[in-house]
Structure formats: structure tokens, C-alpha cells
A and B are shown apart, each in its own frame.
Chain A
Amino acid sequence: MKRKLLSIVMASAMTLSLVACNSGAADTAKEAASETVEEATEAVSETVEEATEAVEEATEEVTEEATASGDLIKVGIINNDPNESGYRTANDADLKATFTEENGYDASFAYSLKNDEQIAAAQTFIQDEVDYLLLSAADTAGWDSVLQDAQDAGIKVILFDRTIDADESLYEASIVSDMAKEGQTAVDWLAGQNLDTVNVIHLQGVMGSAAQQGRSGALDEKVAAEDNWNIVVQQTAEWNAEKAQQIVQSVIDSGKEFNVIYAENDDMAKGAVAALDAAGISHGVGKDVIVMGFDCNKWALEELLNQNWNYDGQCNPFQSSYIDEIIKTLESGGSISEKTIIMDEKGFDAETITQEDVDKYGI
């Protein structure tokens, strides 16, 4: 009896959490819908609300509702949960804004942070005979067979944001960020500041993640190469502002000299700045400490605009225009020369950033 009750409670709690997650998604979807007022997106928001049911069922529903439209290009988009991060929210909104009926698309969306659910969604899309399958895979492995199925069915696959461990022939193109280049751009910018000595507090992301490796790599190389570049402390704050604050606080307490904070995302830079503020260390343009962040959150770019921070590197979530271009090329019979397409990514300098940049690139 006790056990039954427990399982009921657990099950209801899980359903509750699902509803909680998805109603958030539904709201985002609604926002997008109010902008475009499109049948397709509305159908999506409907499905998202009903998403406590299985992913496959949900996606089937969308495509059934949407098959009415005639010569539109049918795309199935598999993405990670937009609630995952600010990056993902911006990424999802961007896709929704591009793949509309007005632009000639009939888009269906499926979200999951789990690889197996994503694969199930992909199979559903294949059964529904979409023309294109757009994929941001949760995990790199396990995609070979389903992508082979897609190829056999004549469906073209385009990867965005994340690559997978599968043969290149299985997809048309892969549109990704080059994290190492992001790091290099930032380090080059720092080198361009012509400081006499560069004493860096290096706050790393979760160790082993692509963003951490890319962004750390460039700095490590530069420090090894230059005599006047030193790393005061190199610590992982795991993308976490609180941890970053404690780490920087510890460096301040120890009395070590530093003049650069190189944080691998905006949150950690924010935590670092909170510690600097508490200790009365000035930071920003023309001040004692240079603050560098990544990801271009809107609030972070505003800090740049107010000259409290010095640099913010972009991690571009806006892949949809690239995808759009590729599809247009393929539709008109053209071919894609490069399989891997690396997006343009900017680095913003507090001295040159404008309000326009904040509005356009802030996520």
C-alpha cells in the first residue's frame, strides 16, 4: 500500500515537473506566435502544451495538421529544450522566426535534452516524409542508423549548433560555432590592449565541454608563448556566478596582483565583478582590471555599454539564416562546397559597442 502510494506521488510529481517545464516552453512559443501569428507555430504551441504525451505523438499531430499546405518546404526541426539556457532560447526563437509559412516553410518542432527521445522524434519526422531534417543533437553518438534511414528516404539532414559522430556523407551540412576561434579572437583582443604585464584570473567553464576547451586553449597557448603573460589563478567555476565570486574573492584576499579577468561565460564574469566591487577594485574601460566575458547576453552587453566590462565574445545562436541559405541553394539544384560551416562570431569592445549592437546581438 505504502509503496503504491509512493509510486503514485512520484509519478504525479514527474508529470507536474513535465508540465512545469513545458508550460514555460509554451509561453515562449506563444510569444513567438504573437509575432508571426502563424498557423504552424500555433500548432506547435498547442503541441507543447500537450507535450506530457509522448514526443512522437505530439510531432505527428503537428505534421498532420500542417500537411494541408501544398508546395511549402517541409522541415522537421529537432532541438534541445529552449529552457536549457539563454543561448537556446535565442536559438529557438530565431529558428521559429525564420521557418515560417511566409518564408515558404512548413516547420515542425520537437524538443528534448535526451538523445533517445530526439532519435524517436527524428524517426517520426522520417515517417512523415519531411524534406529536411534539422538537428541539434543532445549527444554526439547513436545517430548513424536513423540518419541512414533519412538518407534512404531522400530526406536531407542539416546539423546546427552541435556536431555528431557520424559519417559526413549522412548529412548535407553542419553549421557550428568555432569555440577555439572565439577564444582566439578574445585573446587577440587582449593582446591588442598592449598591457605591460598581463596577469589573468582565468575562470573556466565545466571542464571538458567544447566551449571550455576552445576558450581555454587560446589563452593557455598565449600564456605559454609570452613572458609577460601570467595566469594568477586558473579555476573552473563551472559556468556558475557564485563559484566565480568565491574564487575571485579568494584571490583578492590572498593579495595577489591581477589585471585581467578572463571568464568563459557572462555569468562567471558577473560573479567576478561582484567580488571586485566588494573589494573596491575598479574595473572596466580605463580602470585597474579588464573584465572579459563570453556569450553576449543582453545584460552583459549593457555592462559593456556602461563601460563596466571591457570585452564580450559572441557565441552565435542565430544559425537559421545559414540554414535557410543552404536549403535555398539545395532547392535550386546547387551544391554545398563545404560540409562544415563556421559562423561569423564577433567580439565586442566596450569602447566601440553601440546600443544597436546590444539590441541586435544580445540574447
Chain B
Amino acid sequence: MSKNIKNKESLLKRLTGNQLFIPIIAIILLAVINLINDPGFFKITPVINNAGNTVLSGYLITILDYGSELGILAIGMTLVTAASGGQDISVGATIAIAGSAMLRVLCGGQARPTELQAPIIVAFLVACVVGMLCGAFNGMLVSVFKIQPMIATLILFTAGRSIAAWINNNELPIVPDPKFAYFGGFIPGCPIPTTVFIVIACIIVIALVLKFTNLGLYTQAVGINESSSRLNGINPTFIKFLAFVILGLCVAVAALIKVSRLSTINYSVIAKDIEMDAILAVALGGNALSGGKFNMWASILGAYVIQFLTTTLYKFNVQSDALAAYKAVVVILLVVFSAPTVREKMNQLTKKVKPAKKEVA
């Protein structure tokens, strides 16, 4: 976000050229629509939940809360997209696998344990390992065997939910400890959803990694030109592999939130279609889906735009099975606006007419 402050030359051009432009415009657009329709949309009120804690409630909180999983996945998906020039479509299924492994450890294979069989942190670490293994599996196929990412991840996409069911013998365990629900709900005494803190923690970690390591630079280099990056001493195989492993870790964190929300799991529907939303988030962030340069923050913002859109549509009482159609409209707009010919035309327009903002929006 600090990027757009640095350069002041030709503000308008910088603004429209910035990757954050599209998601921010989308958010503003959605916000304005909601403001006109019902100013109460932005109201945040404290309520006392059934556990007896004072918590904040309102549409904005809902967006922040439910957008969390997507925001976290967008981090990993951006790296995978940038490095491999393809997308991982197995994240929903691997969430099921990681979540199932977590419940297996927590409940010890019983469907209805009376107490936790292992500490939550152990279960979470196991889930992280499982998530990273799935990521490593995908990463190996893509980087070592040079399989198209979408085809490689199709394997886990197809098999993942069955594997998840198999891990728990097709039982649907229910976690008995209310503490486990904190991760997808509220910690007593804190009015802000825990998921928000989890996302912030993830963002801080990835920001530090991007700042103090060469991961970002190397990933972009591999994505832009694999052979020239190899000639410059970067190992493209490893970078691609690493991107998938990092996504695996993101999946594990998302799985923790998902499973914690209801303290149980349903293999066939948990995180259903979330992979498409994660890819859409990356696209909304203005990142080229063919790899190369990326802007992490734009992707994360893109994730919240999607949740904003979903929440808005729910508010307008749009049938939930029609949501996909609206998202499709967004995708069409995105594709059209990011097409090189349209961009060129638009640039010419911006040059001719000064207040060209409207056309862009």
C-alpha cells in the first residue's frame, strides 16, 4: 500500500496504473451502491453473543470475518500464480484433507469424544504438515515433472475429498472443546472476530518474508522467464515447489478457520468452490494469471472485494445459487478491462480526456 504514495509524478497515471486501482475501485463501487441503498449497511453495533461476550456485529464485520479464509488463500495463490503461471485448483479439497487430519488428531478417530485427545496446537501443526505435503505433491508434479499446474492439481481436486473422508473413516467428528471454536469465532473479552487477527498475522508474516528475503524477486523472475532466471543462478524448480508448499501452509490455516467455525467437518461441502474464488481474488488484484509480476496486497484486497460482493448480494436477497453468475459478470469485466487492446484504447482515452476516471470505473 505504501507504493502509491512514493511516486507523485502524474498522479492520475500512477493511480490507474497501480495494481491496487482495480480492487480499490471495486470496493468503492460496492460501498457506494450499499450506501445509496441502505446507509445502515455500515453500522457496527456491539451485541452480547450466546457465550456471554460483547462482540461487534454488522455487515462490515461479516465481510472481514468471512473473507478471512479467502484472504489467506490469496497469499499462497498469488505466489503459485506468479511462479508457475498456473493456478492450484485443489485448495478446497486440500482444506478438507488438512481439516480432516486436524480433527483426526483432536478427536483421536472417535466421532464423539468427550474431551480433546491432543492439544489444539499439535493438531494445527499436523494440519500444517499435511497441507504442506499436499502442496509439495502438487509442487513436485508442477516443478519437477513439468505438468501444467491446473492438470497437476486436478488430481487432488478429484481425490482430495475422498482422502479426507478416509482419514476419519468417514466419521464426522465433533470437537467437544469450546476453546476450539475461538479460531473461527471470538475469544472471550475480544469484540473483534479472531479470524481478523489470523489474517493480520499471516499478512505480517508474508510482508516480512517479502521484505527480508528474495522470495518475491525470485518468484517474479521465474514467472517472467524461467530459463533466463536459471542462467542468473536461480533454481526455478525449487522456487515453484516452494510456492506450492507456501500455499499448502495457507491452506492449513484456512482449514483451521473453516473447521473451527462449526467445530466439525463435512467432507463433501467444506470450502466448496473456494479455489475459484481464490483465483478470482488474484485476478481481481490485477495480477497476470500467466505468471510473472505480482502484487500481494492487491490479491488480498481482491479477496475482500469478493466477500464484499457476496455479502452485498446476500443482502439484496439474491438466490445463493445465482451468486456464481454475478461473479461471472465480474470475471468478464475483469478480462475485458485487462485485455491489452482495451488497455491501449483506454490509455489513449486517458490522454485525450483528462477526467477519464468514469470510463475506467
* B311 contacts across to A, CB distance below 8 A: 246, 250
- Within A236-263, which residues are at the interface with B (CB < 8 Å)? 236-243, 245-247, 249-250, 252-255
Q: Are A274 and B170 in contact (CB under 8 A)?
A: no
Q: Are B158 and A253 in contact (CB under 8 A)?
A: no
Q: Are A207 and B321 in contact (CB under 8 A)?
A: yes
Q: Are A242 and B261 in contact (CB under 8 A)?
A: yes
Tally A-B pairs: CB < 8 A. 129
Q: Are A24 and B165 in contact (CB under 8 A)?
A: yes
Nearest-neighbor residue (CB-CB) of A30 within chain B: B169
* B116 contacts across to A, CB distance below 8 A: none
Say whether A279 faces chain B, with CB atoms less than 8 Å apart. Answer: yes
* A141 contacts across to B, CB distance below 8 A: none
Q: Are A17 and B162 in contact (CB under 8 A)?
A: yes
For the complex, what is the distance from the CA of A27 to the CA of B264, rounded to whole Å? 21
Supposing A238-B320, A245-B261, A246-B314 touch, asked if A28 and B155 sit within 8 A by C-beta, the answer is no
Instruction: Give the one of A20, A85, A271 with max B CB within 10 A.
Output: A20
For the complex, what is the distance from the CA of A242 to the CA of B264, rounded to whole Å? 11
Say whether B200 faces chain A, with CB atoms less than 8 Å apart. Answer: no
- Within B263-315, which residues are at the interface with A (CB < 8 Å)? 264, 266, 268-272, 310-311, 314-315
Q: Are B158 and A2 in contact (CB under 8 A)?
A: no
Nearest-neighbor residue (CB-CB) of B66 within chain A: A246
* A9 contacts across to B, CB distance below 8 A: 141, 145, 147, 155
Supposing A9-B141, A24-B165 touch, asked if A241 and B262 sit within 8 A by C-beta, the answer is yes
Instruction: Give the one of B40, B50, B62, B155 with max A CB within 10 A.
Output: B50
Q: How far is the CB of B315 from chain A (nearest CB, A)?
A: 6
Nearest-neighbor residue (CB-CB) of A19 within chain B: B166
Number of residues of chain B lying within 8 A (CB) of chain A: 49
Say whether A188 faces chain B, with CB atoms less than 8 Å apart. Answer: no
Which of A21, A240, A278 sits near B49, CB closer than 8 Å?
Answer: A278
Number of residues of chain A lying within 8 A (CB) of chain B: 53
Say whether B348 faces chain A, with CB atoms less than 8 Å apart. Answer: no
Say whether B258 faces chain A, with CB atoms less than 8 Å apart. Answer: yes
Supposing A5-B145, A270-B262, A271-B262 touch, asked if A243 and B166 sit within 8 A by C-beta, the answer is no
Q: Are B166 and A253 in contact (CB under 8 A)?
A: no
Say whether A54 faces chain B, with CB atoms less than 8 Å apart. Answer: no
Say whether B211 faces chain A, with CB atoms less than 8 Å apart. Answer: no
Say whether A197 faces chain B, with CB atoms less than 8 Å apart. Answer: no
Binary interface encoding of chain B residues 150-182 relative to chain A, with 1 for a CB under 8 A from any of its CBs, else 0: 010001001100110110011010100000000
Q: Are A250 and B159 in contact (CB under 8 A)?
A: no
* A207 contacts across to B, CB distance below 8 A: 321
* B51 contacts across to A, CB distance below 8 A: 277
Instruction: Give the one of A13, A235, A242 with max B CB within 10 A.
Output: A242
* B315 contacts across to A, CB distance below 8 A: 250, 253-254
Q: Which of B7-15, B52-60, B201-209 contacts A (4 or more CB under 8 A)?
A: B52-60
Q: Are A276 and B50 in contact (CB under 8 A)?
A: yes
Q: Are B40 and A255 in contact (CB under 8 A)?
A: yes
Say whether A106 faces chain B, with CB atoms less than 8 Å apart. Answer: no
* A23 contacts across to B, CB distance below 8 A: 166
* B50 contacts across to A, CB distance below 8 A: 276-278, 280-282
* B58 contacts across to A, CB distance below 8 A: 253
Q: Are B146 and A253 in contact (CB under 8 A)?
A: no
Say whether A83 faces chain B, with CB atoms less than 8 Å apart. Answer: yes
For the complex, what is the distance from the CA of A207 to the CA of B321, rounded to whole Å? 9
Q: How far is the CB of B89 from chain A (nearest CB, A)?
A: 14
Q: Are A299 and B112 in contact (CB under 8 A)?
A: yes
Q: How far is the CB of B57 from chain A (nearest CB, A)?
A: 6
Q: Are B59 and A17 in contact (CB under 8 A)?
A: no
Say whether B71 faces chain A, with CB atoms less than 8 Å apart. Answer: no
* A277 contacts across to B, CB distance below 8 A: 49-51
Say whether A330 faces chain B, with CB atoms less than 8 Å apart. Answer: no
Binary interface encoding of chain A residues 68-92 relative to chain B, with 1 for a CB under 8 A from any of its CBs, else 0: 0000000000000011011001000
**B positions within 8 Å CB-CB of A:** 40, 47-51, 55, 57-59, 62, 66, 112, 141, 145-147, 151, 155, 158-159, 162-163, 165-166, 169-170, 172, 174, 185-186, 258, 261-262, 264, 266, 268-272, 310-311, 314-315, 317, 319-321
Could you jot down 9 A-B contacts, CB within 8 Å?
A: A13-B158, A20-B162, A28-B169, A89-B170, A236-B321, A245-B261, A276-B50, A279-B47, A280-B50
**A positions within 8 Å CB-CB of B:** 2, 5-6, 9-10, 13-14, 16-17, 20-21, 23-24, 27-28, 82-83, 85-86, 89, 207, 233, 235-243, 245-247, 249-250, 252-255, 267, 270-271, 274, 276-282, 298-299
Q: Which 4 A-B pairs have the closest CB atoms?
A: A17-B159, A250-B314, A13-B155, A277-B50
